[in-house]
Amino acid sequence: MKIQLLTATLLLFLLGACGNTPNLDYANEYLSLQLGKEPLRIHGKEQKKYKENFSTLFLTQRLLRLDDGSLLMYEYAQTDMQYQFDPITTRSIEIIFDTRSIKRIYEKDFLFAYQLVLSDNRILNIIVSQGFDQELIMLYGMSTNKLNQILRTLDPDATQASYHNVINLKNENNPLLSKWTTIKVHLAPLVVPLRIFGRF
């Protein structure tokens, strides 16, 4: 049993070492989004920080204020070493936000942009990164103009979002619009025991 666990851990380490570098990150007061050689860096100060522990999944949520005064929510979810996300990225987002529908605006190199129709029929803009089965990174709450500006900077050929009447986090009593629950994590399920060779 110990040998099997050691082997699994070693394989996981090797897979992680060869995995894709996150193309959406927040560190030292800067958001970093990257598709090419040079990252797009956006300054944003952390206003609030939340943490959740679902035993097999650990979630950090940061409310950021950009220099233009807008608010964005940055969420970083990582599974325990012996677990991984199960659904494809789009399906995970549908579950996490209880969406009525979802429109994928852009996808390239594990970076996604969506316009989500939430259960109350409001529209939420979101950018998602998932280059590794054990993490999911989300940035949401930007205006459609800001979303399109980000996409154009990353990729001049990117499709543009068209719906502009979207959620502004400055107008929200609670800016946490994702709906993580223990039931979703374990019974949907969002997270399943690790498959050494990824999703089947």
Phi, psi of 8 (to 5 degrees): -65, -40
pLDDT higher than threshold 50 for residue 62? yes
pLDDT digits (tens, 9 = 90+) for 88-119: 999 999 999 999 999 999 999 999 999 999 99
CB 98 within 8 A of CB 116: no
Domain boundaries, the chain: 21-193
Q: How is domain 21-193 classified at the architecture level of CATH?
A: 3-Layer(aba) Sandwich (3.40)
Rounded Cα gap, residues 62 and 122, in angstroms: 22
Of the chain, the percentage scoring pLDDT greater than 90 comes to 84
CB 161 within 8 A of CB 115: yes
Residue 14: predicted pLDDT:
44
pLDDT higher than threshold 50 for residue 17? no
pLDDT digits (tens, 9 = 90+) for 129-167: 998 899 999 999 999 999 999 999 999 999 999 999 999
Rounded Cα gap, residues 106 and 111, in angstroms: 8
Residue 16: predicted pLDDT:
44
Q: Which residues pair with 46 in a beta bridge?
A: 64
Residue 36: predicted pLDDT:
86
Rounded Cα gap, residues 30 and 6, in angstroms: 37
Tell me the pairing of strands 40-53 and 57-66: antiparallel
